[in-house]
Amino acid sequence: MSFFVSVCCITSVLLHAEQTNCPRFRLEVTDNPKLKRFDLNLVSLDDRTLCISIGDWPNEDGEVQGASQWLSIESAGKMYRAHDPSVIADCFIGDCAMRVKPHDTLRGFIPYSVFGKAEVIASLATKRLQYEVRPFVCEKKE
């Protein structure tokens, strides 16, 4: 099962604010029970390079920093909150953001095991990932 979320600074539109810094993107989420994970595609719909903090996107193991506060699965009215990773994504030097070139795609995944026992999550008849991505327009490098 797949679902998509398209975003373009709804708050700015409602407030009649300047929209030039609003990132345009789509988050595609595919439930992949065979691999016991959610596959993610952050698709840039923008003509500018987008950035996302390294702590806000899954690492190579599918862990997301601070996940217990804002990452969960909803199934039949029940919430399964994510567990925080054992390693925190720190960035002390240099660029602390992942870059998505204009109209390109950043891929990642979040394993069911982040939410508890993978077998239990896989057995849920329906499940919806609650995940708020927060990309932003990268600052231009001089």
Query: Number of C-alpha atoms within 13 angstroms, CB side, residue 57?
Result: 23
Q: Within a domain: residue 102?
A: yes
Domain span at residue 99 reads 2-137
Q: Number of folded domains in the chain? A: 1
State the Cα–Cα distance between residues 25 and 8, nearest whole angstrom.
Answer: 7
Global pTM value: 0.81
CATH code, domain with 31:
2.60.40
State pLDDT tens for residues 40-86: 999 999 999 999 988 889 988 888 887 778 899 999 999 999 987 76
- 38 forms bridges with which residues in the sheet? 31, 110
pLDDT of residue 9: 52
Spatial contact of 104 and 89, defined as CB atoms under 8 Å apart? no
